[in-house]
Structure formats: structure tokens, C-alpha cells
Chain A
Amino acid sequence: VDPKKGCEVDLVFSTEHYNPEEGEEHLGKCSARVLFKNHKSRPAINVTCTQLIEQIKRQKEDGLLYKQMKQLRNPLNIVSIPDSHGHIDPSLRPIWNLAFLGSSYVMWKKTTQFLHYYLVQLSSVKQWKTNDGAIDFDYTALLHEFSTQEIIPCRIHLVWYPGKPLKVKYHCQELQAPEASGTEEGSAMPPTKLSNF
């Protein structure tokens, strides 16, 4: 590890379905190389996976998620998901799933050798409208930052249509460090990767 250049980490890991069904156990196998440059955020990632869920099944699940999102009451005005007791209403699950996906982009962008994140709660899911059939919504994700223990609120704007790359715009409120914001076009990753949730 060259402290001037950065830090490289090789990983081997398995993936599982984000919302596994009863008794369902499908493990994808992945290996990745992660390069942190000079303590900077947004590590470079080279990842390959095998045994992922077949494309047809993924597309079907995307379609289902899309349909569920479309069926939700519009406009949406929710205080927090999950609530204080960790409960997510089943009808709101699709929102959590999609918001989690968008948040994972933001977390990747902010991760450094010394700071990593978890999504704790969505503190407001305010606007939700469709534009040309795409799912378009705005929410605030509360990220738990290790090892400062801080809770970082990030305003995230997400646009998604099944089969198309996810578009994420975000703005995180930081206490001391300069405010971080950015735009992430899902086209950096092949579309098929997005649906492996």
C-alpha cells in the first residue's frame, strides 16, 4: 500500500436477493478490486459477477417494482421510512427498495478508506410524479457515517425507468467538510447490473 498513491482492496463476496422469498436462496458470486485514491472519495471499482439471477427474471421483477410504484397514491407525503420502531408498511416497501438503490450510489460516491456509510432512514418522501412514464421522486436519505457516527442527511432526486440507467442527483448536508453534491448517471454501469436487487 503506497500512502501517496492510495489503497487497493481485493474482495470476494456473494450476493443475495434483496427481498428473499421464503426458502429462496440464490447466491451470486462476485469478485472486485476497489481502489481508493489518496484518501479521496468515490473509489474506482472493477467488479465481475457470476450466477446472478437470469435477465428475464430480473426484468420481470423490475416490471413489478415499476407497477407497484405507479400504483402508489400521488402525491406522496411520508414522514419517515421506516418508522421509529423499524416498521415499514408493506405498501411502502417499493419506495424503500428504490430509495435504497439510489442511496447506494450516493454512498459509493462518498466512501473513502476511512469513511463508509449505511442507510438508516428515509426522512421525507415528498414529491413523486411521473414524467414520460418514468418514476421520478425526491427524498431525504439519512446516512450513518462510520467512524464519525454522524447522521448525514442527503437530498436525493431519482429518475428510473425499467431497463434504462438510473439517474441520481444528490446534495448532502455536511457539518464541517465542504458540502458534497453530484450527479450520477447510471450509464456508468451496464443497465443489467441495476436490476440485481
Chain B
Amino acid sequence: MEPLLGTLYLLGWLVLGGLGYDSSSDQPGQEVVSPWRSLNTYSYDKYHPMGEIYEWMSQVSEKHADLVTQHFLGMTYETRPMYYLKISQPSNNPKKIIWIDCGIHAREWIAPAFCQWFVKEIVQNYKDNSRISRFLRNLDFYVLPVLNIDGYIYTWTTDRLWRKSRSSHSNGTCFGVDLNRNFNASWCSIGASTNCQDLTFCGTEPVSEPEAKAVSSLIESKKKDILCFLTIHSYGQLILTPYGYTKNKSSNHEELIQVGQKAANALKAKHGTNYRVGSSADILYAVSGSSRDWARDIGIPFSYTFELRDNGTYGFILPESQIQPTCEETMEGVLSLLDEVHTKNWPVNSARRVSATTAVWCMNL
């Protein structure tokens, strides 16, 4: 079967190559997908159109089938499938979940780039990196590389600075909801708009948007197992804790700040990039209906928004040359966060006890 597939791929490549397909096309109105791509040559330091990201997801889950599976989350407004990748090592013990989503705002291209980088780092290093293999013993990672797929595609075909989804309102005269104002967390009370023309339009009701609904439903169904909810944005170089809709602090605010600050330090150690840590209401601006606030409110203890590089020099249009350093430092920040979350739930002592028991059991066979 495989040699035949290989021939088909080759034929496909030759045919499409002859037609002059160009994956790096910046032409408006066209979202071009590269005809054939091997996972070995996938560039994690370049921006990819949605077609390539879909293909990448299939290939990663196929190549690393023992670790990564692709799951359907829901459909977007324009009826595109939303998929997340579940990274999980088979084991007998129950796992807790770490959720990471990227690209809720279409123009924040560095975010989906980070999600892809994160997956790559895990699959390439889980066997010989003790830190990662430790996490995988007790944690499953659910990674949603692009949450706002319709919007993301729109930034490639039509308007690079589009932010919202692409749902239609007011008889087709107005488009898009700010998905990060659409969650059920003090919905539309502050820092959001009821006017469709605005970029912070909160939608017609809480979770009115299919993309927000898809995420909400999954998270809600698994909430007792989710330890950490990370939502990745750009720009601003911030690690934000709840809340945006009030200046009141969550019950574990001190801890969230402490863990967040540790993550910011680990991030800075990589390339010297400064990140600030604080609640949205304190260090950014008032915001209601955010996914992060909603996640905290349904009981997920560690809920953060990451605003990646930069500080305004390039903003949303971060040069590709900065993808690698941004992803490297962010990885350090996230890993530090995971360290804290993991150690808190599986303190070192009990781990040793477990291994000792396992050793005895094995010897008895």
C-alpha cells in the first residue's frame, strides 16, 4: 500500500508543481495550500495558512499515533471543522488535563505558530526529556492550534488585521463577533460592545458563536479534570490572570501571580524578553466575556492569558524571524508553569512511593 501512496504523492506533487503553485503567495483572494509536505520539512519558524495547518495536524497525529490523536471539536460559522490535538501517553493511572488554545483573535498569527511549536517540542522530545516525560505520566495536553478558523483564513485572503469571527449580522451588513467577549463570564457588562461594527462586539448572547460554544462544551464536560486553561494571544508581553470583568481577585490570586511570575522569569531567562504579570483589570483593561475568566469561574484553578511578543514595534505583524525566539521563550514560560502545576498535584514524595510500589509489584511477577 505504501509504495502506491508514495507514487500518488509524487504524481500529485509533479502535477501541481507544473501548475506553478506557490505556498508563499501573499496574493489577496487566494489561500494557497502547498501540494505535498513532509512533516520532516515543516517549517515551524514560518506562518502557515489554514490548509497547511489542517494537513500538519493530520500528519502529526498519523506519524505519532501512539501519542497524538486528532479530535473534532465542532464546526465554525462558515462550516469548517475545528480540530484539537490530544497528546496523551497510554497509562493505567487517571490523567488530568492541560488545555491550550491559540488564535481566538484572527490577526494574532504568532499564537497559532506557538501552538504548533508546542506540539512539535513535545513529540520530538518526550522520549528523552525527563521533564516532559514526567508531565506525560499524569497529564494530557489538549491543544487547539486555531480557534477562530474563519477569521484566520480571512486574514490570509482579505484583511491581515481582521480580529473577530466571520458570523453575519444585521442582514449581512456586518460581520464578526469578538470571540473573547462571547463567553459566559459577566457577559457584555464591561469592555465589550453591543454594536456589531465594533471590534469588541460581544455577540447576540453568551456563547452565541459556534466556535465559543464548541470550546465551552468540551471544557464544561471535562472541567473536573482540567488543571490548567491557557489561551494564547498577541501582543503585549503579558501573563494575565483573572479577572477582566472586575477588579476583585480570584480565591487563588496570590498563587496565580506567584506561578505566573515564575513563568515570566523562566521566559526572560531565554532571550531577555520582559513580561509583566497581573490581572487583566489591573494591568491591561476591563474585559468581560473572556474565555480565561469563564474557565476560572467554572472551577479551573490555573487560568491564564498569554500575550506574546512584541510590545508594539510590529504588533500583530510580527516578522517571521521572531517566530523561533518567541516560541522558544514562551515554551520555557509554559514549561515552568506546568512544573508548578504538576508539583502541586503530584508532589515529589508520593511519586517516589508510587515507583517503589510498582517496583515491588514487578518483582513479584
Contact of A120 among B155, B197, B316, B319 (CB under 8 A): B316
| Min CB gap A149→B, angstroms | 4
Bound Cα distance from A120 to B321, whole angstroms: 17
Asked if A86 and B285 make an inter-chain contact with CB atoms under 8 angstroms apart, the answer reads: no
Contact of B315 among A120, A147, A148 (CB under 8 A): A120
Contact of A86 among B198, B199, B318 (CB under 8 A): B318
- Chain A residue at minimal CB-CB distance from B46: A85
Number of interface residues, chain B, beta carbon within 8 A: 26
Bound Cα distance from A155 to B197, whole angstroms: 22
- Chain B residue at minimal CB-CB distance from A87: B319
Bound Cα distance from A118 to B318, whole angstroms: 13
The residues in A between 52 and 90 inclusive whose CB is less than 8 angstroms from any CB of B are 80, 82-88
Q: Which residues of B contact A121 (CB under 8 A)?
A: 160-161, 317
| Min CB gap A46→B, angstroms | 23
Most buried by A among B160, B163, B191, B321: B160
| A142 on interface, CB distance cutoff 8 Å | yes
| Min CB gap B297→A, angstroms | 22
Bound Cα distance from A150 to B197, whole angstroms: 10
Asked if A82 and B26 make an inter-chain contact with CB atoms under 8 angstroms apart, the answer reads: no
Asked if B199 and A149 make an inter-chain contact with CB atoms under 8 angstroms apart, the answer reads: yes
Bound Cα distance from A86 to B326, whole angstroms: 14
Interface residues on A, range: 20 to 34
| A106 on interface, CB distance cutoff 8 Å | no
| A141 on interface, CB distance cutoff 8 Å | no
Over the window 279-291 of chain B, the binary record of Cβ atoms lying under 8 Å from chain A Cβ atoms (1 yes, 0 no) is 0000011000000
| A93 on interface, CB distance cutoff 8 Å | no
| B217 on interface, CB distance cutoff 8 Å | no
Contact of A84 among B312, B317, B322 (CB under 8 A): B317
Over the window 144-173 of chain B, the binary record of Cβ atoms lying under 8 Å from chain A Cβ atoms (1 yes, 0 no) is 000000000001100011010000000000
Q: Which residues of B contact A95 (CB under 8 A)?
A: none
Over the window 206-219 of chain B, the binary record of Cβ atoms lying under 8 Å from chain A Cβ atoms (1 yes, 0 no) is 00000000000000
Q: Which residues of A contact B197 (CB under 8 A)?
A: 175
| Min CB gap A7→B, angstroms | 16
Asked if A118 and B312 make an inter-chain contact with CB atoms under 8 angstroms apart, the answer reads: yes
Bound Cα distance from A88 to B314, whole angstroms: 11
Q: Which residues of A contact B178 (CB under 8 A)?
A: 149
Bound Cα distance from A82 to B200, whole angstroms: 25
| Min CB gap A18→B, angstroms | 10
A147-B191, A149-B163, A150-B199 given as contacts; is B319 within 8 A of A86 (CB)? yes
Asked if A84 and B26 make an inter-chain contact with CB atoms under 8 angstroms apart, the answer reads: yes
- Chain B residue at minimal CB-CB distance from A121: B317
- Chain A residue at minimal CB-CB distance from B162: A151
Q: Which residues of A contact B284 (CB under 8 A)?
A: 147
Q: Which residues of B contact A175 (CB under 8 A)?
A: 197-198
Bound Cα distance from A147 to B283, whole angstroms: 12
| B332 on interface, CB distance cutoff 8 Å | no
- Chain A residue at minimal CB-CB distance from B317: A86
Contact of A82 among B198, B199, B314 (CB under 8 A): B314
| B340 on interface, CB distance cutoff 8 Å | no
| Min CB gap A123→B, angstroms | 9
The residues in A between 128 and 166 inclusive whose CB is less than 8 angstroms from any CB of B are 142, 144, 146-151
Asked if B161 and A120 make an inter-chain contact with CB atoms under 8 angstroms apart, the answer reads: yes
Bound Cα distance from A142 to B46, whole angstroms: 24
Asked if A85 and B316 make an inter-chain contact with CB atoms under 8 angstroms apart, the answer reads: no
Bound Cα distance from A121 to B317, whole angstroms: 8
Q: Which residues of B contact A85 (CB under 8 A)?
A: 26, 46-47, 317, 319-320
Asked if A86 and B161 make an inter-chain contact with CB atoms under 8 angstroms apart, the answer reads: no
| Min CB gap A78→B, angstroms | 13
Asked if A149 and B200 make an inter-chain contact with CB atoms under 8 angstroms apart, the answer reads: yes
Asked if A120 and B198 make an inter-chain contact with CB atoms under 8 angstroms apart, the answer reads: no
Asked if B161 and A142 make an inter-chain contact with CB atoms under 8 angstroms apart, the answer reads: yes
Asked if B314 and A86 make an inter-chain contact with CB atoms under 8 angstroms apart, the answer reads: yes
Interface residues of A (CB under 8 A from B): 80, 82-88, 118, 120-121, 142, 144, 146-151, 175
Known: A86-B318, A120-B161, A120-B315. 7 other contacts (CB 8 A): A84-B26, A85-B319, A85-B320, A121-B161, A149-B199, A150-B199, A151-B161
Interface residues of B (CB under 8 A from A): 26, 46-47, 155-156, 160-161, 163, 178, 191, 197-200, 284-285, 312, 314-322
Q: Could you list some 24 contacts between A and B, CB below 8 A?
A: A82-B314, A84-B26, A85-B26, A85-B46, A85-B47, A85-B317, A85-B320, A86-B319, A86-B320, A86-B322, A87-B320, A120-B317, A121-B160, A121-B317, A144-B161, A144-B312, A144-B315, A148-B199, A149-B200, A150-B198, A150-B199, A151-B199, A175-B197, A175-B198
Q: Which 5 A-B pairs have the closest CB atoms?
A: A86-B319, A118-B312, A147-B285, A149-B199, A86-B317
